[in-house]
Each structure stands twice: as structure tokens, then as C-alpha cells.
Amino acid sequence: MSHSMPCAVKLSFSQEQLRTVQDPTNSVREFSKSYPALNDRRQQLPAWQGVSQFFEAFERPQVALVSAETGSGKSTQLPQACAHLLEGLGCAGKVFITQPLCLAARSVVERLAEEMDDRLGGIVGLQMKGLSVMPKYSIKARIQVFTDKFLIAKLSRDPLLSDCGVVMVDEVHERGVNIDILLGFLRLGTGVAVSSALSMNQADAQLIPIRPDLHVICMSATGNNATLLEHFAAFRPELVVIPGVPKTIHHHFRLFTPHSWMESTFQTIRQIVTDILKTYPPGDILIFCPGEGEIHQLCDTLKLLYDTVPETAKFKVLKLYRTLPKIEQDQVMDESMICNTVEQHIFSAASGFNGIQK
């Protein structure tokens, strides 16, 4: 039984080609008024500027590892570049991108839809726990965002990923159970399911050799890639390093060890809020707490501070944790809001926030 490939092509795309395909003046399509400014801003991102370097890694192998710091734009720019390339070549394969957490998946897919000047469910789809927004007509879909668990479920139903041309595993450095299972499936296949689909021996049923048209990209925000390189060593993976956005970080330490982290945090926030106009640039405050209970406790305490500060130093307290309702999560992710945010530690490595100064 032969496998019908979405498109057996070598990935080759340059920065200039990406600029042309995203340029609203070169298209007969009508773009929104906000698109030109957004298009200009994203061209400043390191991942957008590194597109040519990224695709050079695919001259030979099917597997590439991308090491790019937080804020580089890797989660949004590289999937779009792959989608534009496949579409331009007339390939049917879609770009699949995974995120370890629901909040990160929603944030990425909404940004992708905005940058592609389309609505969610148009050419960009999302599948995660409690939310599935997929294009009505599958042929129109170019990018599909999944949480890791949902792509694993798709592999169990379609072990060949028959409608996928590029699969991108983002935040792979987090190495949770689902990410490790997904990496195993991508390297080894799903065993019995693949061999049954192709009527071949289970030992020979490795996904990547069976799908020479499938490209696997693992993206990490850390420089520790030795384990991944070893994991995919049989496929001679290329490592692409994309720099992040340079930021100056200042560390300030308390002069004494506090007896209560809650009291210490409250006093620190009070000092920042009091001095915010004199000492600190405009921006938000991000606080990591041990758990959901501590988040609620600290928020209640900070609300008492609100009435004691001058009008020029007023602030808004927002909570963020895994089970928070979507509408409240959207408030936190809205970059137009200047606020003080209390966040549970579980999101520390999975979400990027603009405007954080303290």
C-alpha cells in the first residue's frame, strides 16, 4: 500500500520571498487597515530576519532543531513562512504546530490569525481541551495549532499525519510527558498503527523514513539541544540558532531573608507602586506565586493597597492560572492594558508577555 504524499519538495525559501508574499501592495487580496503597520513590525523580529538561515538547514535533512530565545518570534514567523512556501508550491500539506499549554496555544493561534489578516477558523485552526476552532473547509486550512496531547491523539487516528507537510514542536525544552511521547512518535512512529496502515513489519514502521515529504522542526528557547540532537541522530538533524531581542535585565535583591514571602512581596510591590513615576519606566509587574491559593490571597492583599496610593500610581490586579475562565485570561494577555499581574509559576516558561518591566 503506497502513501499519497501531500508534496515531496525540498523546503527552500528566502527572506525576500517572504517579504514579497506578505506585502499587501503585491496582492490582489484586500487587507485590513491595520495590516501594513503589523507587517512592518514583525519584520523587525529575529525569527523573521532569520528565515533564509532557517530554510538553509533543510537543504538535506528532514529534521531541524531551532534554538531561539523568548521574544524572537519563532512561534509565529516560522510557521507562517512554511505555510507560505507550501501554498506557493501548490502543496496540500498543512503546518502543524504544538504548544504544551492551552494558554500558549490560544495566544499563538490568535497572533497567527492576526498576522495572516484572517479570522481564527479561516486558514488557521486550533484544537485543545475545551476549544476546537477548525476551518469549515479543510482545503483552506494552512496552519493548525494543537496542544501536545491533541496532536498525540491525532497520531493515534492518523499515524502517518497524512495531511501534514511540516510538524513543529514548540517549547520542546520543557520536556513534559506529552512532549516526550510526541517526540518518540515522530521519531519511531506509533508502531502497530503505522505498520497496519502500510501492511509492513512493525520494526520498519518509522514515520520519518515512510514520509520523506514530512519535515519535523523542534523549537527550543534554551541552548541545551544535545539530547534532541542525539534523539534524532539517525536523521542527521541541523541546528539553527536564532538570536533573541537584546534586553537589559537588572537584578535587585532584598538585604534580608523575609520570614513571610507574602509580606515581603506586598512590601516590595508597595515600594514599586509608590516610586513608579520616579524610578521605574512605564510597564507591568509580573509576580510568580507557588499556587492558585496564594494568587487569590495576594490579590486580596494588594487590593487593600489600591486605596492608599496616589491617583497617578493606581493599578489593576489581574490573576492568571490554568483554570481561569477564557475572558479573564484574555484580559491578562491584552497588551494594551497597563496593570499589575499576579501569575502562577506554571506559566513562567510557556508564555511571553509584552510590557513587563518589574
Q: Is the same domain home to 109 and 63?
A: yes
128 strand-pairing partners: 131
For 39-82, the pLDDT digits (tens) are: 999 999 999 999 988 888 776 778 999 999 888 999 999 999 99
In this structure, the answer to whether residues 90 and 182 fall within a common structural domain is yes
Same-domain pairing of 139 and 268: no
Query: Are both 228 and 291 inside the same structural domain?
Result: no
User: 117 and 20 in one domain?
Assistant: yes
Query: Looking at the domain assignment, is residue 134 inside a domain?
Result: yes
**Domain annotation covers residue 9:** no
| Shared-domain flag, residues 170 and 96 | yes
Which residue ranges of the chain lie beneath pLDDT 50? 1-5, 192-197, 202-203, 336, 338, 344-352, 358
Domain final position from 214, 242, 270: 242
Domain that holds residue 92: 15-242
Distance CA(358)–CA(344), nearest Å, equals 16
Would you say residue 184 lies in a domain? Answer: yes
pLDDT digits 0-9 by tens, 115-134: 999 999 999 999 998 888 98
| Strand ranges in the chain using DSSP code E only, listed in sequence order | 63-68, 94-99, 124-128, 131-133, 143-147, 164-169, 215-220, 238-242, 285-289, 317-320, 340-344
pTM of this prediction?
0.81
Whether 99 and 41 share a structural domain: yes
Same domain, 208 and 280: no
- CATH code: domain of residue 163: 3.40.50.300
pLDDT value of residue 9: 55
Per the domain annotation, does 354 fall within a domain? no
Residues 108 and 140 in one domain: yes
Residue 70 lies in a domain: yes
Is 297 a domain residue?
Answer: yes
The total number of structural domains that make up the chain: 2
Residue 331 lies in a domain: yes
pLDDT (0 to 100) of residue 348 = 33
Pairing of strands 143-147, 94-99: parallel
Task: Give the pLDDT of residue 46.
Answer: 93
In terms of DSSP bridges, do strands 285-289 and 238-242 run parallel, antiparallel, or are they unpaired? unpaired
Whether residue 55 is found in the same domain as residue 174:
yes
Same domain, 129 and 216: yes
